[in-house]
Amino acid sequence: MPLSPRLNRRAGSPFRARTSRHRKAALLASAVSVCLLAAAAPPEPLGVGDRLYPYLGNPGYDVASYDLSLTYPGTNEKPLQAVTTIDARATADLDRINLDFAHGTVQSVEVDGHRADFATVGEDLVVTPDHSLDEGSWTRIRVKHTSDPAAAKDEDGGWVRTTDGLAMANQADAAHLVFPCNDHPSDKAMFTFHVTAPNGYTVVANGLPAGVDRAGRSTTWTYRTRHPMATELTQVSIGRSAVLHREGPHGLPVRDVVPSADAKALEPWLAKTPDQIAWLEGKVGPYPFETYGVLMAQASTGFELETQTLSLFEKNLFTESSFPAWYKESIMVHELSHQWFGDSVSPRTWSDVWLNEGHATWYEALYAEESAQRSLENRMKAAYAASDSWRAAGGPPGRPEPPSPGQKIGIFRPNIYDGAALVLYALRQEIGRPDFERVEREWVREHRDSTATSADFVRLASTVSGRDLSGFFQGWLYGAKTPPMPGHPDWKASSPEKSGKPHRKASSPEKVGKPHRKASGPVKQGKHDRRGSGPVRSPKAGEPRTPR
């Protein structure tokens, strides 16, 4: 196994000091035998034990940084050549290192400059270096591989093909379809991207630009993050794009990436971002990253996605005139809100995802109320009526049902969107608006650039309010039935039998129960999405979109 037992070789071990010479010899022989058996054992896939994605992530190390070098061949139908370099610290004695990687050809692996053996098992790349790694030691892993933009068999997500290139959509479990990694939000790291593409293409990635080098017929673009990032939030856009620059609050650099031919038509929407950032800063505090912007891709995805510092949108959301303007703006605010809730403060486990989506939905709805007079209370009342149905279908907000095999969209049901926003509304009703707003500000300040759990949120709310709220949250986050709404004894939850199918599409964007097709990859017209319950397509004009 990768966590193979080895002798305790640390000097001064009290166990060693108490051991007789003969006992030492016996123990040494036994330990060597165990090590030989472990080394001979076949490699196996591991995970960090996430309840919803048990094979995501890997134990035994903590990644500090990724350096991704990608070479785009000039077509999105062929694999990219890639080198992924990982700097990590061992958190246990390791004889093997498991990485998540499932869609590409591994050509070679080096550990600390030495060639290493490797094998692919399940969705893991299992690396056996020529030397063991001691707990606390640092290591550098370099994997030379391909990165395939074609959809893998029975897999969606990772690269998204656009009409003129590529973008990424890695949530929740698809980053390892693009590059070898520790693909779980609990292990955030710094990122550097070097992307080489033929001249005429523009490349933009998470973070800030750190150089553009042209050599002959190709150009290499470099970007670096200044804050740690979860693998599911990585973004690389390659296309014939225009990059539009503007200034946000406090001089924040804002850059948007759009198809060059659409830059003028999309400018009125892009110009709204600085004021939206200022609005959110007024609610929860300073914007947490080094830059922000909107990537409007010419692709059929059926969703929008909060990739860190560069949110992904389907361009048609803004060019189809049948979508109400207030609705488009609220979706922009949804993804922007994620920069605080989900990106800066990331979920420790995927069961904590309600903290991402509930907050983004909350500020989406609050913005619609304040800017377009769309009643937040009416939306929450409608959500309350549907909540028991959502809980029956997808679990309560704090404990979503695991995805069914081949249907990973399952965790992104309405119970963690409007159902989770309903929890926040109930909390505001319970402790009052001033304390609620203080909880929100302190949450993003206390856990900035880190991860947090539902229990952390309960503790903070209890501290701020001055009373134990664990019982309150127990019902709202984990109960099979929706608790009574504080201040609204007249609100009634419809029984699942009477409320109809919980995933039925709403007839207009302002209604709850949006078809949250949380697909993490390209969804084409009529294609059956393995994470959903049936055929998935981009919504027709007038149907609600899917913020992620």
Of 21-25, 56-60, 189-193, 371-375, give the lowest mean pLDDT range.
Answer: 21-25
pLDDT of residue 517: 30
Task: Output the six-digit token pair for 519.
Answer: 């697909």
pLDDT of residue 154: 62
Residue 533 has pLDDT above 80, yes or no: no
Task: Output the six-digit token pair for 340.
Answer: 């605080």
Residue 520 has pLDDT above 70, yes or no: no
pLDDT of residue 291: 98
Contacts 24+ apart (CB under 8 A), 379-384: 379/418, 379/510, 379/512, 380/421, 380/422, 380/425, 381/488, 381/491, 382/511, 382/512, 383/418, 383/419, 383/421, 383/422, 383/512, 384/422, 384/482, 384/485, 384/488, 384/491, 384/492, 384/493
In angstroms, the CA 342 to CA 410 distance is 18
pLDDT of residue 302: 78
The sheet that has 294-297: what strands, in order across it?
Answer: 241-247, 253-259, 294-297, 311-314
Residue 322 has pLDDT above 70, yes or no: yes
332-344 per-position pLDDT tens digit: 999 999 999 999 9
pLDDT-derived band at 125 (thresholds 50, 70, 90) equals very high
Residue 367 has pLDDT above 80, yes or no: yes
441-460 per-position pLDDT tens digit: 999 999 999 999 999 999 99
Residue 30 has pLDDT above 60, yes or no: no
pLDDT of residue 506: 32
Question: How many C-beta atoms surround the C-beta of residue 442 within 10 A?
Answer: 16
Alpha carbon dihedral 299, 304, 307, 311, in 10-degree steps, equals 80
342-356 per-position pLDDT tens digit: 999 999 999 999 999
31-57 per-position pLDDT tens digit: 433 443 344 578 898 999 999 999 999
pLDDT-derived band at 8 (thresholds 50, 70, 90) equals very low
In angstroms, the CA 272 to CA 85 distance is 38
DSSP character for 395? -
The dihedral region occupied by 69, where left means phi > 0, alpha psi between -120 and 50, and beta the remainder, is beta
DSSP character for 540? P
Residue 111 pairs with which residues in a beta bridge? 114, 141
In angstroms, the CA 341 to CA 289 distance is 12
pLDDT of residue 406: 61
Rg (CA), the chain: 24
476-517 per-position pLDDT tens digit: 999 999 999 999 999 999 877 654 433 333 333 433 333 333
pLDDT of residue 320: 82
pLDDT of residue 495: 79
Residue 208 has pLDDT above 80, yes or no: yes
In angstroms, the CA 306 to CA 338 distance is 6
Per the listing, tokens 């054992």 go with: 41
pLDDT of residue 29: 41
Residue 265 has pLDDT above 70, yes or no: yes
Mean pLDDT, to the nearest integer, of 257-286?
Answer: 97
DSSP character for 517? -
Report DSSP letters for 130-151, one per residue.
Answer: SS-B-TT-EEEEEEEEEE--SP
pTM: 0.85
pLDDT of residue 386: 97
pLDDT of residue 375: 97
pLDDT-derived band at 422 (thresholds 50, 70, 90) equals very high
pLDDT of residue 164: 94
Helix (H, G, I), strand (E, B) or coil at 425: helix
Residue 371 has pLDDT above 70, yes or no: yes
91-121 per-position pLDDT tens digit: 999 999 999 999 999 999 999 999 999 999 9
126-162 per-position pLDDT tens digit: 999 999 999 999 999 999 999 999 987 666 679 999 9
